[in-house]
Amino acid sequence: EGSFAYALPIGTLGDAVYCVVIVDQYGRSDTEVNSQSCSTPVQENAFANWVAEPTNIVGEYLGDGKTRISWTDQVGAEGETYTVWRANYQVSAGEWQAQEDLMTMKCQVPDGVQECIFDATYDGIGVVPPQITSHYFVTSKARYGLNMAEFEYRGLDNNHVVVIEDIKAPNKVIMSNFQISSQDKTLELSWQRPQEPQGTVSIYRNLGTPFTDLNSVYYIDDPGWELVESDIAIPSDGVYQTYMMDLEDGVQRVAWYAVIVTDEYNNSDTELYVGTGSNTQEVNEDTLGPDINFRLLDEDNVKVESTSLTKGDYTIRVEASENLATEPLINITSSSGESISAGIQRMALVASNAENPDKGPEYAFSLDITSSIDAGNILIEISLDDVYNNGRVHLYENFSIDGQSPKIVIYSPSSSSEGSKYLYGNDIKLVGGITDDVEIASAKVKFLRNYGTSSSVNEPWRNVTGLVKSEDNREWAFEMEYASGNFEYGSHQVTVRAIDVAGNEMEFSVVFVVDWCRHREDGITVCEYENPVAEEPETIYLEPSYSDAPYTIVWAVSGVSFFSIIVAAIVIITAMSAPKKKKTTDEEEDNWMSEFIGTSAEPDMDAITNTQSKEQAKPVSNDEDEDDPFDTVNKLERKTRPKKQEIVEEDDDDEDDDDDFGFDDDDGAMEAPKKRPRKRPAARKPASRKVAKRKAVKRDDD
């Protein structure tokens, strides 16, 4: 017989059966155990003096609203679960059993962890006090021995700990004004001093737009917020606390700043507020001088895209990116040192744009470029100061001035005004040159065919070819050749246009003649367009009108003649009323003048009025007439003169052209009458009362 003593482990509770088997020296045994080798069930109880609770319970408030409870797992149990309970006072087992909601479960962990960290809360009523006294209990639930059911011991014998907690967040701070020093590149924030002497202050920044919806709640943990400064000590006295921090150099941006206070237990109010009395502040960080939008406008208020400026009136307009302390200053100088703006000038405000947040104030300055300004680069210098005394100078050096246009000379073709022409079939050479004070950009040529006619054709511009350029590109020479057969007979115009890099443009034109000429057998050269040896022009007989000078003279002479005829007719009629003596034939021949006149030098009024006496009416003898031929005063007889010898003149057969007095037979002029020998006329009747014009009459004996 044998026996064996076995010590039961603490916590063993239940019935057990023991069996005995034989094991040889090699460790082998019969695996089949029959009932005869086993005992009957034996009730074992080793739990009577054992406490089913963890030991060494420790409680600690970690701050930031966190509490930690630690313990040592109980002995003699496996697979247990530990639970931490909280109460506002030390609850007894009987009270808990009677009212289970007296305690609140805070956490639950498996065996082996031996601690639990959780949020400290206030289960009381009303405002959270500055400090909270919390009572914590730790219980375990486990399987004991062969009993498969879990058992939780709630005796609350040695599982209690007291923890003093501070879960109340400090009061939020109220931010006040801020100051920016552009010169020192610093930002000074100010806020009301927190009532947490042992606490600290942290500064956060957001460069975006964190408050898009004012109806929402925002926290410092939201995206976009970054910690800028932390652990800033809180002074023990004073109303406000200030803190100065460095700003980045050369920035111009809007930033939001928030101040968060943390007490000695790391409690903080992370909620953000906007508006008056808030813990946030919008700051315009500006360590950069004002930026501008620069525009150069021409006289038509159109933006100038070219950097080369020609002669004309311009306007410089700038739009500042922010409000300025004063008007910008502008100074424009040439590369030679000449001041184009007449020194430093202030620009004029043309638009404040105060009601448009997307635009800044606009300023303008008038720039007048004349041909007297030397060509070259110019420097535009604009100085600005913003309201934060940030100064900035903008330089524009990419502009150049050229107020002079290119000069063009055309040597060939020659102008038609010089009498030159190009014969059909010959080549026309376009030869010329271009010079400018700056570089020449381009040159073009075009022809205007049939210049000065209704059928003129204006050709498009073409690039000038055959160019020879100087090294500085300021002198161009060109030579082009055209066949005159491509041009019709007549005048044509060639125009050359040159443009320099500044945009100055110049055109020069020459009118030339293309003709086809041939020499005739009669020695005359005839051309299709112009005839250099023109035939004698035909006589053009003008047909004057009745108001022209010749007709005016004719009318005047005719009027005078007509008046003379009337006067002569009156005189003749008056003279015919007196008696006449009978004249001989010779006397009639000799006194033809008296016959024409019809009276004596002094007319007898008695005879005219028929008031003379009978004696006076008697005829006077011819002897008295012959004795005193001139005594005809107060007599009615005509004056007579002595009889002359007949003179016979020979015909003049001289055919000299000089005697024609310009009357040529070929011209159809009237032939002059030939001179005949005068003969005494036969006796004829006294002259009639009518006055006849004297004209040449051929004799019967001729």
Would you give the end-to-end CA distance of the chain in angstroms?
226
What's the rounded Cα separation, in Å, for the pair 295 and 351? 15
How far does CA 264 lie from the centroid of its chain? 65
Residues 344 and 444 in one domain: no
DSSP 61-93: EEETTEEEEEEEPPSS-EEEEEEEEEESS---H
- C-alpha–C-alpha distance, residues 141 and 52, integer Å: 8
Given a cut of 50, whether residue 698 has pLDDT beyond it is no
pLDDT of residue 11: 61
**Residue-level pLDDT at 259:** 94
Q: Is the pLDDT of residue 192 over 60?
A: yes
End-of-domain residue from the set 286, 312, 329: 286
Residue 137 in any domain: the answer is: yes
The domain spanning residue 223 has which CATH number?
2.60.40
For residues 473 and 523, membership in a common domain is answered with: yes
Residue of 200, 191, 84 lying closest to 141 (CA atoms): 84
Beta partners for 381? 331, 395
Show the tokens assigned to 257.
Answer: 């700043």
Please give the pLDDT value at position 148: 54
325 and 427, same structural domain? no
363, amino acid identity: Y
Give the HSE-up count for residue 470: Cα atoms under 13 Å, Cβ half-sphere.
14
Structural domain harbouring 595:
577-614+622-648+673-702
Same domain? 219 vs 233: yes
Residue 4 has pLDDT above 80, yes or no: yes
Residue with tokens 């090294």, as numbered in its chain: 471
Residue 559 lies in a domain: no
> For residue 531, what are the contacts with CB-CB under 8 A and spacing of at least 6?
525
Q: Are residues 59 and 107 in the same domain?
A: yes
- Does the structure show a pLDDT above 70 at 634? no
Report the mean per-residue pLDDT for the chain: 79
Q: Ramachandran region of residue 568, left (φ > 0), alpha (ψ -120 to 50) or beta?
A: alpha
The yes-or-no verdict on residue 581 having pLDDT over 60 is: no
Same domain, 137 and 82: yes
- Average pLDDT on 436-455 reads 89
Other residues' Cβ atoms within 10 Å of the Cβ of residue 86 = 21
8 A C-beta contact, residue 467 and residue 473: no
Mean pLDDT of 522-527: 79
Does 612 or 575 have the greater pLDDT score?
575
Say if CB 465 and CB 473 are below 8 A apart. no
For residue range 469-496, list pLDDT tens digits in order.
Answer: 999 898 999 999 988 778 888 889 999 9
Q: How many domains in the chain? A: 5
Residues 599-620: tens digit of each pLDDT: 554 555 555 555 555 444 444 4
Instruction: Tell me, letter by letter, the H, E, C secondary structure of 338-381.
Output: CECCCCCEECEEEECCCCCCCCCCEEEEEEEECCCCCCEEEEEE
Give the pLDDT confidence score for residue 363 in this predicted structure: 96
For residues 266-278, give the mean pLDDT. 87
Q: Does a structural domain hold residue 668?
A: no
At 690 the pLDDT is 45
576: Cα within 13 Å, side-chain hemisphere: 13
> Distance between CA 66 and CA 163 in Å, rounded?
11
Taking residue 654's Cβ as centre, other Cβ atoms within 10 Å add up to 7
| 125 pLDDT tier (thresholds 50, 70, 90) | confident
For residue 618, the one-letter residue type is K
Q: Is the pLDDT of residue 408 over 90?
A: yes
| One domain, residues 246 and 305 | no
C-alpha to C-alpha distance for 431 and 420, rounded to whole angstroms: 16
Question: Do 71 and 160 reside in the same domain of the chain?
Answer: yes
Q: What is the mean pLDDT of residues 124-144?
A: 85
Q: Is 41 inside a domain boundary?
A: no
Q: How far is CA 458 from the centre of its chain?
A: 32
Are residues 439 and 393 part of one domain? Answer: no
Same domain, yes or no, for 233 and 309?
no
H or E stretch including 624?
Answer: helix 622-627
What integer pLDDT is reported at residue 402 of this predicted model? 73
Identify which has the larger pLDDT, 607 or 345. 345
pLDDT band for 57, please (50, 70, 90 cuts). Answer: very high
Q: Which of 428, 427, 426, 430 is nearest to 410 (CA)?
A: 430
Within a domain: residue 563?
no
394-407 confidence digits (pLDDT tens):
999 988 887 778 89
Residue 688 sits at the vertex; the CA angle it makes with 682 and 691, to the nearest 5 degrees, is 110
List the CATH number of the domain containing 453. Answer: 2.60.40.10
Q: What is the pLDDT of residue 605?
A: 56
pLDDT of residue 232: 92
Same domain, 183 and 259: yes
Please name which of 4, 13, 138 lies closest in space to residue 67, comparing C-alpha atoms.
Answer: 138
What is the domain-level CATH number for residue 352? Answer: 2.60.40.1220
Residue 88 has pLDDT above 50, yes or no: yes
Question: Given this model, what pLDDT does residue 595 score?
Answer: 56
**Final residue of a structural domain among 385, 401, 417:** 401
Does 481 fall in a domain? yes
Q: Which of 165, 198, 220 corresponds to the end of one domain? A: 165
Reading the block at residue 176, the tokens are 């006040």
Residue with tokens 């031996």: 114
Place 136 in a pLDDT band, splitting at 50, 70 and 90.
very high
Residue 39 belongs to some domain of the structure: no
Of the two residues 295 and 157, the one the predictor is more confident about is 295
Residue 455 forms part of a structural domain: yes
> Quick one: pLDDT at residue 434?
94
Are 393 and 504 found together in one domain?
A: no
Residue 499 has pLDDT above 60, yes or no: yes
Question: Virtual CA dihedral for 227, 229, 235, 238, nearest 10 degrees?
Answer: -80
CA distances from residue 144 to 17, 75, 78, 148, 221 in whole angstroms, order as listed: 17, 11, 8, 7, 48
- Residue 129: partners with Cβ closer than 8 Å, 6 or more residues away: 122, 168
What pLDDT is stored for residue 673 in this prediction?
Answer: 44
pLDDT tens-digit series, residues 640-695: 555 444 444 444 444 444 444 444 444 444 444 444 445 454 444 444 444 444 44
Omega cis (within 30) before 413: yes
Q: Note the pLDDT of residue 688.
A: 45
Would you say residue 391 has pLDDT above 50? yes
Tally of CB atoms within 10 A around 397: 12
